[in-house]
Structure 1
Amino acid sequence: MKFRSVFDIIGPVMIGPSSSHTAGAARIGRAARDLFGREPKYANIHLYGSFAKTYKGHGTDVAIVGGILDYDTYDQRIGKSLETAKQKGIRVRFHEEDAHTDHPNTARIKMGDDQGSIELVGISIGGGKAEITELNGFELRLSGSHPAILLIHNDRYGAIASVTSILAKRQINIGHMEVSRKEEGQEALMVIEVDQNVDDDVLDELEKAEHIVQVAKISE
């Protein structure tokens, strides 16, 4: 197994007792915040496996909400994230689920506001790392180890080419890319991991490209 740095072995700088249950959980919450693009009005958090059994004792609850509030894993404010969310008027509900999942540390986050919503499934894979495995019903594999661009687009000829040509023009290198769709000819999801954080003006240009419906990013 290859590691990018010593921190992949000993875990990240973090608040809380467990890299899997705290740091990984915070990264799932923050990925949801990044993809939603703003502070939500509500968050329904469904926990599975060991997350459901130990989330209060291991700080998974405050970690996920801290991520939703856009706190990093080492942010001291994570410990009071539930109180902060309440003060901000964010309705947070936790649901302990009995259903079997492929990974023991799994969370499904449904959050939104009057303008829209998002549903995301994330798993904490150890060492403070997390992966996003589902977004609004689309299956994906998003490691969170690199900056990423996510594009919902019409499943039409030329959609992928229009996106990659913009990234090439901006000298943005693609490290990993995958496309998933629910049904041929309908909406599809393009996930592109890149080597550097992407500026908002690049997102604006991507959103104007042919067949692109919505664009979001996750920064490193």
Structure 2
Amino acid sequence: MKYRSAFDIIGPVMIGPSSSHTAGAARIGRVARTLFGSQPKKAVISLYGSFAKTYKGHGTDVAIVGGLLDFDTYDERIPSSLKLAEDAGMEIIFTIENTVTDHPNTVRINIYDDKKELEVVGISIGGGTIEITELNSFKLKLSGEHPAILVVHNDQFGVISAVTNIFAKYEINIGHMEVSRKEKGQMALMVIEVDQKIDQNVIAEIEKLPNVTQIIRMVE
């Protein structure tokens, strides 16, 4: 991985002893909450690799839950996040997994409320930098550092070009984009990260496109 600046190595302003195990974990939790769209009522947090071995000593547990409570990496409430989650009525379950993953700092977060559920897999790759690598079994690569939308759509001809044409119409530059699908002709997912804020009128126009079924917007 290439680092853009010294701060990617040193890490962000944060609560906790480790940029990878604490700041990165908090960011994964916060991106999961953002993708969910609200504070969940229940979270099952499955830890792998070094996350599983050191999560209490490095504050990975309180960091992830802090992220689910929408706390930033430097929020002084993070050490108390387990109690604050309990006070907020959020049920938290931690599981330790023995499966060997591609990256040692891996967490799977399943979050729920009365109407919806979401599964997110994230990795902390150093200096507080993260990647979301899986969303509801879709493989992807999402940093959470840039304005982004996730477009759920039917795998049909012309959908991708229709979406990118709307971005071109509004002169929005796409920095990263990828498409994944589970089966040909079935549900697919577009991940689009851009260089500037995505206005609501852009979202509304994409929502009206044929074969687009859902848009998940990352809050900038």
TM bucket normalised to smaller: over 0.9
Alpha-carbon distance, 1:169 to partner: 2.1
Cα–Cα, structure 1 residues 83 and 201, in superposed 2: closer, same or farther, change >3 Å?
A: farther
- 2:102 aligned partner: 102
Task: Give the C-alpha shift of residue 144 in structure 1.
Answer: 2.5
Deviation at 1:2, TM superposition (A): 4.1
Q: Which residue of 2 is the match for residue 34 of structure 1?
A: 34
Distance in 1 of aligned mates of 2:200 and 2:67: 21
Write out per-residue CA displacement over residues 161-209 of structure 1, whole angstroms, 9 at most, x where no aligned residue. Answer: 2211222222211011110001000000101111023234432332222
Task: Give the corresponding residue for 1:174.
Answer: 174
Q: C-alpha displacement at 1:55, in angstroms?
A: 0.6
| Pairwise CA RMSD | 1.4
Tell whether the 8 Å contact from 2:26 to 2:64 is kept in structure 1 after alignment: yes
Report what 1:127 is aligned to. 127
Report Cα offsets for 1:19-64 as digits up to 9, x if no partner: 0000100111111111111111110000001111111111001110
> Hey, what's the Cα distance between the residues in 2 that align with 1:200 and 1:32?
21
Q: Which runs of at least 4 in structure 1 moved beyond 4 Å after TM superposition?
A: none
**Cα distance, 1:217–1:23 mapped onto 2, change above 3 Å:** same
Tell me the distance in 1 between the aligned counterparts of 2:92 and 2:194.
32
In the alignment, does 2:68 pair up with 1:68? yes
Separation (CA, whole Å) in 2 of partners of 1:167 and 1:29: 29
Give the structure 2 partner of residue 211 of structure 1: 211
CA contact (8 A) 2:8 2:126 kept: no
Residues 1:159 and 2:155 are matched in the alignment: no
User: For residue 75 of structure 1, what is the amino acid of its counterpart?
Assistant: D
Q: Relative to structure 2, which stretch is displaced further, 140-149 or 117-126?
A: 140-149
Q: Which residue in the other structure is 1:57 paired with?
A: 57
Partner of 1:193: 193
Cα deviations by residue, 1:100-120 (Å, 9 ceiling, x for unpaired): 111111000000111111001
Q: Deviations over 1:3-34 (max 9, x none)?
A: 32331121111110000000100111111111
C-alpha distance in 1 between matches for 2:187 and 2:6: 40
In structure 2, the residue corresponding to 1:4 is in which secondary structure?
coil
- The answer (yes or no) to whether the contact 2:51–2:106 under 8 Å persists in 1 is yes
Gaps of 5+ in 1: none
- What are the Cα deviations for residues 91-135 of structure 1, in whole angstroms up to 9, with x where unaligned? 110001111111111000000111111001000101111111111
TM-score (norm 2): 0.95
Partners of 2:151 and 2:128 lie apart in 1 by 26
| CA distance in structure 2 between the partners assigned to 1:33 and 1:207 by the alignment | 22
When normalised by structure 1's length, the TM-score is 0.95
Question: Which has the larger displacement, 69-78 or 100-109?
Answer: 69-78
Query: Secondary structure of 1:168's partner?
Result: helix
CA distance in 1, matches of 2:219, 2:120: 17
Instruction: Tell whether the 8 Å contact from 1:155 to 1:186 is kept in structure 2 after alignment.
Output: yes
Which residue number corresponds to residue 184 of structure 2? 184
Query: % of aligned pairs identical?
Result: 67
Q: State how far apart, in whole Å, the 2-side matches of 1:181 and 1:70 are.
A: 30
**In 2: Cα distance, 1:130 partner to 1:67 partner:** 13
